[in-house]
Amino acid sequence: GDPQNLKCVTHNLQEMVCTWDVSSRGRRGQTDFCYTTNDLTPQVCFKTKERRVEMPLPESSSRVTIKSSGTSFPTKEFVIHKKDISFVPVTPRILSLTPDFSTSTLNLKWSDNGSVFPYGLDALWQIQILRKETMEEVTKVIYYSKLTHEDVILSWNWTSDMPLECTSHCVKIRCYINATQFLGPKDWSDWSPAEVIPGKDSEPGGSGVFPLDTVVAVGSDVTFCCVHEEDQHITNMTYGSKPYKMIQLSSRSHAIRVLNASASDTSGTNVVCHLENGMDGTVVFVGYAPDIPQNLSCETSNFFIIKCTWKPGRPSGLYGERKTKYSLFERMSGKNVSCEVNEMNRDRTCGFPVLPDQKTYDFILGVSNPIGQAQSSILVDITQRVHPKTPEKLSVTGSNSTSIQMRWFINGSFAGIWLLCQIEVSSGHSEKKLHNVSMPGGKSSTYTAQVKSLRPYTKYQFRVRCSSADHFWKWSDWSRGVEQTTAEAP
């Protein structure tokens, strides 16, 4: 028959595929096909039974002659101009579709097939996600990349608004290459074959309520689904104790959508799927990400342990294995300490060992729970953050009519700093007097002092507290009192 409707398409901007129709039906015989891309190159001819031929993409135009071999039909000549050739990229190939059920995320990997294209072309990838038994479109997104004349594996993540177990998810991809230099019409490639991640509802005997034992932030919108066996019938689904309107995903899977979830009780919120003969359920813990720790402060009482304290801010509402965890990281030494914290009491403390030959500490207090994390930092010179323990075993070691010698013990190693101690002297109704005395710090040692200018034969009460003399930070608490009467005047 008479060749007509010659159409040419290029998939890679290098070759093109031309196809044509033949006017009459008749037996499909051989065809003599010749082409020449320009006047300088010799004509190329060959025979073919197909109505489809691959040939180089012309610089500007190609001259094609098609003749049905052995027939009286005349040779038909065509001139294909570059602007008449359309560009449709090769259908992309999905390399892998990997589900992460714990985060309801799909990871898609495909090759951009860039090696066949010149460097630097912009490529658009349209990714379509379908769901449910009816394969409804959930989303269609465009991913942009630049071709580099090499085959690059591209990767893209998508987080579903419902657990992947709920029903089957399917992904397809197609591409469009913005070859600005190409004169002819440009179009999207075909869709790739679909890749499917089967849900539990297509698994024989698969059942359960999902997500299983998850943690979400207050205010989240969460979809829960109930997958049940073939022969079961679902009656309703409750969140907390409130029934919710069900969405059917498939014959074995129904879902409910909870909007703006509020904080759950300590034992979590039950999501129950009531079936005709039985039930299934899961628990969701709705809480808060940890607040940034407030008023972080670190001090030492003995130069053995540095104690950091902070205010936790808003309670997370998460307990047990989901509770907020704290760790103290010291940047200079690289040492990290995890802190044991009781979620129920308000003040938080964490101990960090004093390191040999290190005075300055650059702390980062890290706070994390399944919903989020936060941190606070503080740079502290511990010699300027000394808060001694309460002086102990205060005792009088000697006295006469006008003076008293006394001794006390402070737990801690204060060698290297001076201590300032204050002795409170009181007697009867007279005004309390404070007697300041400085002394070199010792290594868990006993300290002595003398109080003079006392009145003879008078009963006095004494107590002592200490602090760092070099850089005052905090007084220790007062020691227990001790009582002594001065001797009679000689």
Amino acid identity, position 109: K
Q: Which of 1, 281, 372, 442 binds other proteins (CB under 8 A)?
A: 281
Instruction: Let me know how long the chain is.
Output: 490
Under rule CB under 8 A, residue 60 binds other proteins = no
In the shown chain, the binding pattern of residues 232 to 251 toward other proteins, with x for contact by CB under 8 A and - for none, equals: ------x-xx----------
Under rule CB under 8 A, residue 297 binds other proteins = no
Rule CB under 8 A: which of 25-44 touch other proteins? none
User: Is the N-terminal amide bond of 3 cis, ω within 30° of 0?
Assistant: no
Angstrom distance (rounded) from CA 257 to CA 322: 24
Closest approach of Cβ 297 to other proteins, in Å? Answer: 24
Residues binding other proteins: what is the number (CB under 8 A)? 30
Please check whether residue 297 is in contact with residue 363, taking contact to mean a CB–CB distance below 8 angstroms: no
Closest approach of Cβ 317 to other proteins, in Å? Answer: 9
Q: Which is nearer to other proteins, 274 or 435 (CB)?
A: 274
**DSSP state letters, 129-155:** EEETTTTEEEEEEEEEEE--SS--EEE
Of the ranges 182-190, 268-276, 362-370, 407-415, which one interacts with other proteins (CB under 8 A)?
268-276
Q: Which is nearer to other proteins, 186 or 323 (CB)?
A: 323
Q: Which is nearer to other proteins, 49 or 233 (CB)?
A: 233
| Angle at the Cα of 262 from the Cα atoms of 258 and 266, rounded to 5 degrees | 115
Under rule CB under 8 A, residue 269 binds other proteins = yes
Q: Which of 274, 307, 325, 474 binds other proteins (CB under 8 A)?
A: 274
| Token duo for residue 296 | 């972080």
Residue 153 CB burial class (10 angstroms; 0-12, 13-18, ≥19): exposed
Under rule CB under 8 A, residue 231 binds other proteins = no
Under rule CB under 8 A, residue 266 binds other proteins = yes
Residue 116 CB burial class (10 angstroms; 0-12, 13-18, ≥19): middle
E strand or H helix at 67, and its extent? strand 61-68
Closest approach of Cβ 307 to other proteins, in Å? Answer: 21
Please check whether residue 289 is in contact with residue 219, taking contact to mean a CB–CB distance below 8 angstroms: no
Cross-strand pairs, 435: 423
In the shown chain, the binding pattern of residues 306 to 345 toward other proteins, with x for contact by CB under 8 A and - for none, equals: -------------xxx-x------------------xxx-
Please check whether residue 261 is in contact with residue 286, taking contact to mean a CB–CB distance below 8 angstroms: yes
| Angle at the Cα of 231 from the Cα atoms of 227 and 236, rounded to 5 degrees | 50
Amino acid identity, position 53: V
Angstrom distance (rounded) from CA 453 to CA 262: 69
Q: Which of 232, 270, 349, 368 binds other proteins (CB under 8 A)?
A: 270
| Token duo for residue 221 | 């919108």
Chain-centre distance of CA 377, in angstroms?
A: 21
Closest approach of Cβ 375 to other proteins, in Å? Answer: 22
Amino acid identity, position 263: A
Q: Which is nearer to other proteins, 56 or 315 (CB)?
A: 315
Under rule CB under 8 A, residue 157 binds other proteins = no
CA distances, 284 to each of 115, 217, 314 (Å): 48, 10, 20
Closest approach of Cβ 280 to other proteins, in Å? Answer: 8
Under rule CB under 8 A, residue 283 binds other proteins = yes
Q: Which is nearer to other proteins, 313 or 442 (CB)?
A: 313
Under rule CB under 8 A, residue 10 binds other proteins = no
Q: Which is nearer to other proteins, 347 or 483 (CB)?
A: 347
Closest approach of Cβ 266 to other proteins, in Å? Answer: 4
Q: Which is nearer to other proteins, 268 or 293 (CB)?
A: 268
Of the ranges 112-120, 275-283, 412-420, 453-461, which one interacts with other proteins (CB under 8 A)?
275-283
Under rule CB under 8 A, residue 278 binds other proteins = yes
Q: Which is nearer to other proteins, 171 or 271 (CB)?
A: 271
Q: Which of 21, 77, 122, 213 binds other proteins (CB under 8 A)?
A: 213
Of the ranges 83-91, 124-132, 209-217, 396-404, which one interacts with other proteins (CB under 8 A)?
209-217
Buried b (16+ CB within 10 A) or exposed e, 83-103: eebebbbebbebeebebeeee
Angstrom distance (rounded) from CA 43 to CA 476: 103
Phi, psi of 277 (to 5 degrees): -125, 75
Q: Which of 13, 197, 272, 306 binds other proteins (CB under 8 A)?
A: 272
Under rule CB under 8 A, residue 181 binds other proteins = no
Residue 390 Ramachandran class (φ > 0 left, ψ -120 to 50 alpha, else beta)? beta
Helix (H, G, I), strand (E, B) or coil at 352: strand
Of the ranges 102-110, 265-273, 406-414, 440-448, which one interacts with other proteins (CB under 8 A)?
265-273
Residues that bind other proteins (CB under 8 A): 209, 212-213, 238, 240-241, 264-272, 274, 277-283, 319-321, 323, 342-344
